Amino acid sequence: MPPDAARRSDRSRRAILVAALELVEALGYSRLTIEAVATRAGVGKQTIYRWWSSKGPLLFEAFVELGPIGQYPPTCGDLAADLRLELRVVVEELGERRFDQVCRALLHEARDDLLALLLTPRRLRLEERLRAAQRVGEVRLEVDVAVAADLLLGAVHQRWLLRTEPLSGQHADAVVDLVLRALRG
């Protein structure tokens, strides 16, 4: 591609990603159409379909590229405080309309693989924090940190996903407190 065409193409791509995120926030996922994204981004529908097969993968890329996905709070050294903070950020993020809509979009399009990717950074942070706690003896060495992360995140993701009860910081704290009893020596 000649340099000018490449630059134009980059600009279009970015305009599409920005439009997709703005629209999912304004309309929600089910009312979002590729046509509306194209109009807002000032490109033709075909341009979008050349790069993305449907709105799920388009939104995923928009999120990854135009992140950051929420904040990454600094750890303070106190295990309970750190885990509470991490899990509260997960709750906030899932409660944010844009993030919620993108995640559900991926589910509805059966893109579990992309959803897993989107949720992975938080999991890695948690596992890393748990491993650090193991090194200083705050978490038993026999604990499988992947299973511990399943407990912490699963409890929250399940409520979010099934909407059985509203997500809340209080619920997240209760989850952390219960899990901590299992992790300590």
The least distance separating its own copies from the CB of residue 111, rounded to whole angstroms, comes to: 10
DSSP letter assigned to residue 168: -
The runs of H, that is alpha helices, within the chain are 3-27, 34-41, 45-51, 55-66, 79-95, 97-108, 112-135, 145-162, 169-183
Which residue, 20 or 139, is less far from its own copies as judged by CB?
139
When binding is defined by CB under 8 A, the residue of 107, 121, 132, 169 that contacts its own copies is: 107
When binding is defined by CB under 8 A, the residue of 113, 128, 131, 137 that contacts its own copies is: 113
Encoded one letter per residue, x for contact with its own copies by CB under 8 A and - for no contact, window 139-158 reads ----xx-xxx-xx-xxxxxx
Contacts of 24 (CB under 8 A, 6+ apart): 32, 59, 98, 101, 102, 105
The least distance separating its own copies from the CB of residue 93, rounded to whole angstroms, comes to: 16
The least distance separating its own copies from the CB of residue 169, rounded to whole angstroms, comes to: 14
The least distance separating its own copies from the CB of residue 74, rounded to whole angstroms, comes to: 26
When binding is defined by CB under 8 A, the residue of 108, 124, 131, 137 that contacts its own copies is: 108
The pair of three-digit structure tokens given for residue 156, joined into one six-digit string? 């929250």
What distance in Å separates the CA atoms of residue 184 and residue 179, rounded to the nearest whole number? 9
CA distances from 34 to 11, 59, 100 (A): 18, 11, 19
**Does residue 90 belong to the site contacting its own copies (CB under 8 A)?**
no
Contacts of 136 (CB under 8 A, 6+ apart): none
**Does residue 161 belong to the site contacting its own copies (CB under 8 A)?**
yes
Kindly identify the residues of this chain, within the stretch 11-50, that bind its own copies according to CB under 8 A.
30
When binding is defined by CB under 8 A, the residue of 36, 119, 127, 132 that contacts its own copies is: 119
Contacts of 6 (CB under 8 A, 6+ apart): none
The binding site for its own copies (CB under 8 A) comprises 30, 104, 107-110, 112-113, 115-116, 119, 143-144, 146-148, 150-151, 153-159, 161-165, 171, 174-175, 178-183
